[in-house]
Amino acid sequence: MTHPQKSSAAALPIGGHPVGLGPGSAEQAKKSLPAWLLSLLLHLSLVAGLVIFLTQIPNGAGEIDNRTGGIVLVDIQSETTEYLSEGDISQNSNPASSPDTSTPSLDLEDRPELPGLESTPAEASGLENLLSNNVPSADSLITGSVANGKIGGKMTTEVFGIAGTGSRFVYLIDRSKSMEGYNFRPMLAARQELWKSVNSLNESNQFQIIFYNNEVDIFRGKLSLHAANETNKAAAKSYVESTQPDGGTDHLTALKTAFKLSPDVIFFLTDAEGGFTADEIFELSRRNYSRAIINTIEFGERRSNDRSLEAIARNSGGKYIFKNINTLRVE
């Protein structure tokens, strides 16, 4: 018995498509991603994850706990070395915990007396007095003591209305023979104004008086400044009243002497024309090391054409004044 042969068309579904590959499966195959693109996306995901992981790891010392620093001292004794921290130092510095290593005080009352070296309270007191009386103080380095205040205090004083401010004053007064003319009026007026100015100084100020003719005559005979205390003022008054006019006039030597005292202010009084040359005026400016202000007072009947006294005052920052002898007031 023969069987009828199956047609090949029976193996294919109606429509001519393979089994399992219907119209929907074909469209799905067309929409699937290529393999290389999937691989790229996978690798990018791995790299991104690695980056995120690494950023979570602390970098450097930013997350390290704070630690205190300090100084470590090394104590080396014999063959051992000991390192000391701040805590050890604070503990060792505590008087309560540190052993008492202070040297016991020596009772001088219990010390043994050596033969021939015994001392008495009177001898010890004498030594203290000797030291206290012979060690000079800073104020005693100038002539005369300063009872109150401090040496160097500035003040303003004046002579014939010309003011000078400083702490060291020098009065340079002409005492040539001509100062006794006009019934002694120039000398009396000079003494009067000089004493008024000296007497106005404070004890913290210093002064010197120089009368001059051909030579210089210095108060107390020593080229130094004196404290303006009551003792020195009284001595200065006696010195001024006893000074008499005599001789000629040497302005240049007198001014050079005054400069050696390094004053702040010089009151320069004369009844003679200045007569300084330009070279002498320049020399005086050069020798004025302390840059003292020079106030010049000129006595006379009328002003001459000589302006050298005025130039000396102007060059130092001082003032010049002319006083007519006939109108000088003497009290």
The answer to whether 199 touches 236, Cβ cutoff 8 Å, is no
| Token pair recorded at residue 236 | 């200065």
- Asked if residue 80 is part of any domain, the answer here is no
Q: Is 194 inside a domain boundary?
A: yes
Give residue 58's pLDDT: 56
Q: Does the residue 318 lie in any domain?
A: yes
Paired sense of beta strands 320-324 and 293-300, if any:
parallel
Cα gap 89→130, rounded to integer Å: 47
Residue 259: inside a domain = yes
Does residue 148 sit within a domain?
A: no
**Number of helices followed by number of strands (H, E) in the chain:** 9, 11
The pLDDT of residue 121: 46
Phi, psi for residue 204 in degrees, rounded to 5:
-80, -5
CA dihedral defined by 134, 136, 140, 141, rounded to 10 degrees?
Answer: 120
Of all helices (H) and strands (E), which one includes residue 162?
strand 162-166
Instruction: For residue 7, give both structure tokens.
Output: 């047609």
Whether 255 and 289 have beta carbons less than 8 Å apart is answered as: no
Contacts of 166 (CB under 8 A, 6+ apart): 154, 155, 263, 264, 265, 293
**pLDDT digits (tens), the chain, 331 positions:** 444 444 444 444 444 444 444 455 545 545 566 787 888 888 888 888 887 877 766 555 445 455 555 555 555 554 444 545 555 544 544 544 444 544 444 444 445 454 444 444 444 445 445 444 444 444 444 444 333 345 568 999 999 999 999 999 999 999 999 999 999 999 999 999 999 999 999 999 999 999 999 999 999 999 999 999 999 999 999 999 999 999 999 999 999 999 999 999 999 999 988 899 999 999 999 999 999 999 999 999 999 899 999 999 999 999 999 999 999 988 8
Residue 27 lies in a domain: no
> In angstroms, what CA-CA distances link 289 with 29, 168, 265, 284, 300?
114, 14, 12, 10, 30
Question: What CATH number corresponds to the domain at position 214?
Answer: 3.40.50.410
The domain total for the chain is 1
Domain membership of residue 11 (yes or no) is no
Asked whether residue 298 is domain-assigned, the answer is yes
* Domain encompassing residue 166: 155-327
- Side chain identity at residue 12, one-letter code: L
- The amino acid at residue 132 is S
Chain center to CA of 62:
46
Q: 230-242 vs 185-199: helix axis angle to the nearest 10?
A: 180
Helix axes 278-287, 308-316, angle to 10 degrees: 30
Phi, psi torsion values for 62, nearest 5 degrees: -65, -35
Task: Give the Cα separation of 330 and 141 in Å (integer).
Answer: 38
φ, ψ of residue 38 to 5 degrees: the values are: -65, -40
Q: How far is CA 321 from CA 151, 193, 195, in A?
A: 30, 14, 19
